[in-house]
Amino acid sequence: MSSTSRSQLFGDLDVTAQLDAPIGAERTWFGIGGKADALVSPQTEEALVTLIERCAQSSTPVRILGKGANLLVDDDGVDGVVVLLDTPAFSGLKFNREGRVHRLHAMAGADLFKTVNELKRQGLAGMEQMAGIPGTIGGGLRMNAGGSYGCIGDTVDTVRCCSMSGEVLYYERSQLEFSYRKSNLPECIVLSATFNLEPDDPVAVRSRVSEIWAAKKASQPMADHSAGCAFRNPLDRDGERVPAGRLIDEAGLKGLAEGGASVSTQHGNFIITDPNATASHVRRLMRIVQDRVMDHHGIRLEPEVVIWERTGITAE
């Protein structure tokens, strides 16, 4: 990114910025992949909204980086601006009470693990289904993150977000729709959200959370580098959702390797990486798995992992 683009986009804004930031290696769970031309952390909502507006006006690509839990950055890195919502203005949790309902106000960059831990501490029920799901509140809402115990859309009440042209939008529960790994939020940057929770015995909340963690530890390769499930669970010919992990397992692909990337021998839907892996190894392995599952089951797997690559759009 040229110094002119840089100063026009965020030179006068309340942000911290890092150029050629190694986001793939340092900020994704895979720990592989290239750099971001510019990694920008806004200190205020105003700075974020102005930055988004300017990026829209100059056709500069913008991407939001959460915890990098579900992300593969291409080896050549990414252009434009990568926004990190890690400053205090974007990571807080606040609570207030209306009768029996306890409302959680969560900022978009708040960590899901920390959120579930805080609810355990306070004895608030309604978000245990998010135990063990990595990521942020904002990223989680965009893709309706979750697992077999439920998803984030089950408990959310309102969402505030910023459109890709810099307009602040507000959605009530009645306007929100969530389905499997999908929400009806438009392409936007979530700013904050509220969740309605109920008081419960902290011991009971803690034991529900522990149960989910134990099931996850028993079935998933948690000690390895991965981005969680590589593929979405697809629909079969009868319209039933089937586990991608089982389809990959039945196709005999566990342990299959491409360079430093391999299909976990523990759970078929996890691609794990060793220190020699590159993003290209993972992408090639994903294509091989898709082809083999198609040959074996006649079902096309779609990636759940988000892949970032250069757009080739130059902001000038």
* Binding stretches for ligand EPU (CB under 6 A): 147-149, 216, 219, 228-229, 232-233, 243-246, 249, 267-269, 304
Nearest residue to ligand EPU, scored by beta-carbon proximity: 147
122 residue type, one letter:
Q
Q: Which residues contact 104 (CB under 8 A, 6 or more apart)?
A: 93, 94, 95, 115, 119, 124, 127, 194, 195, 197
Question: C-beta of 14: minimal distance to ligand EPU in Å?
Answer: 34
Q: Which of 225, 220, 245 shows the shortest CA–CA distance to 299?
A: 245
Pick between residue 22 and residue 147 the one whose CB is nearest to ligand EPU. Answer: 147
Question: C-beta of 112: minimal distance to ligand EPU in Å?
Answer: 11
Pick between residue 246 and residue 296 the one whose CB is nearest to ligand EPU. Answer: 246
- C-alpha 179/C-alpha 173 separation (Å) is 14
Tokens matching residue 142? 């965009």
45, 128, 258, 304: the active-site residue: 304
Pick between residue 151 and residue 279 the one whose CB is nearest to ligand EPU. Answer: 151
Question: C-beta of 42: minimal distance to ligand EPU in Å?
Answer: 28
Pick between residue 87 and residue 233 the one whose CB is nearest to ligand EPU. Answer: 233
The yes-or-no answer on residue 181 being catalytic is: yes
181, 232, 283, 292: the active-site residue: 181
CA distances (Å), origin 181, targets 105, 165, 218? 22, 25, 23
Give the chain's length: 316
Question: C-beta of 83: minimal distance to ligand EPU in Å?
Answer: 22
Enzyme catalytic residues: 181, 229, 304
